[in-house]
Homo-oligomer: A and B are copies of this chain.
């Protein structure tokens, strides 16, 4: 069987102008745009991002698919099977499907599961991944603080699946990125206090979207249920990359030798 091409398209963190040219071209030319949303009645964040750029076209199908936010494997499996089967119907008819995914398709995206199953469901199918600007790039851009320089190591931790060893991680890495905050914020704040790093942490929700929220003091947001698009970034900044061996980072910053 000759299937349509399946595309995983990263549409970036939220601002429509953070779409890439390749994402726009791919979305414009696909027969079907698959648009994830978290409930049958909710809006699709991905569509909100791309609509201002590509608009609605009568000859292109917008296929809204529900991927519930859940930790229950049975519920997820069922929803995903339904969604993947709908995509499969289109592919089997030779139509190309662009699965639009917020941020980047390779990082904590539902597209990852679809990619893993694609060759078994549709043998020989052509799959193409269009990388996007991930929230890991957007959050430091919003904060104006680099994630890491040449000497530094980064840990990326999805917080909602456990942060019991967070103190160890914070102490072992120069930069720690906590994704999917969920209800873990009090535990995160506690670990930051224990490591003396609370003042080195920042909270960003919905980076680059109109609803963007930044909190330099994590205690402000500690009692809230963290947004699922929120991240906490902790940068120790004790080194200064390749200059670390020369003088202390503060001395470097305090005495720039201009000219």
Binding site for B on A (CB under 8 A): 10, 12-13, 15-22, 24-25, 53, 70-71, 73-74, 76-77, 81-82, 84-85, 88, 104-109, 111-113, 115-117, 120-121, 127, 129-134, 136-138, 140-142, 144-158, 161, 173, 180, 208, 240-246, 252-254, 256-259
Which B residues are CB-close (under 8 A) to A150?
A: 108, 158, 161, 180
Which B residues are CB-close (under 8 A) to A147?
A: 106-107
* Interface pair B120/A256, CB less than 8 Å apart: yes
Number of copies: 2
User: Which of A17, A88, A145 has the most chain B CB within a 10 Å cutoff?
Assistant: A17
Q: Closest B residue to A25 by CB, please name it.
A: B17
A112-B21 Cα distance, complex, nearest whole Å: 25
Which B residues are CB-close (under 8 A) to A85?
A: 258-259
* Minimum CB–CB distance for A93 against chain B, Å: 15
A189-B149 Cα distance, complex, nearest whole Å: 24
Partner of A21, one of B53, B84, B149: B53
> Can you list 28 residue pairs at the A/B interface with Cβ under 8 Å?
A12-B20, A17-B20, A17-B22, A21-B24, A70-B242, A73-B242, A73-B244, A81-B257, A81-B258, A82-B259, A84-B259, A88-B259, A106-B141, A107-B148, A108-B148, A112-B148, A115-B144, A116-B146, A117-B253, A127-B144, A129-B141, A129-B144, A130-B141, A131-B133, A131-B137, A131-B138, A148-B156, A153-B158
* Interface pair B149/A258, CB less than 8 Å apart: no
CB-CB under 8 A for A243 and B76, given A81-B259, A150-B108: yes
* Interface pair B106/A18, CB less than 8 Å apart: no
* Minimum CB–CB distance for A134 against chain B, Å: 6
Which B residues are CB-close (under 8 A) to A136?
A: 107, 134, 136
Which B residues are CB-close (under 8 A) to A20?
A: 12, 17-21, 133
Which B residues are CB-close (under 8 A) to A111?
A: 146
Q: Closest B residue to A122 by CB, please name it.
A: B258
A153-B176 Cα distance, complex, nearest whole Å: 11
* Interface pair B151/A104, CB less than 8 Å apart: no
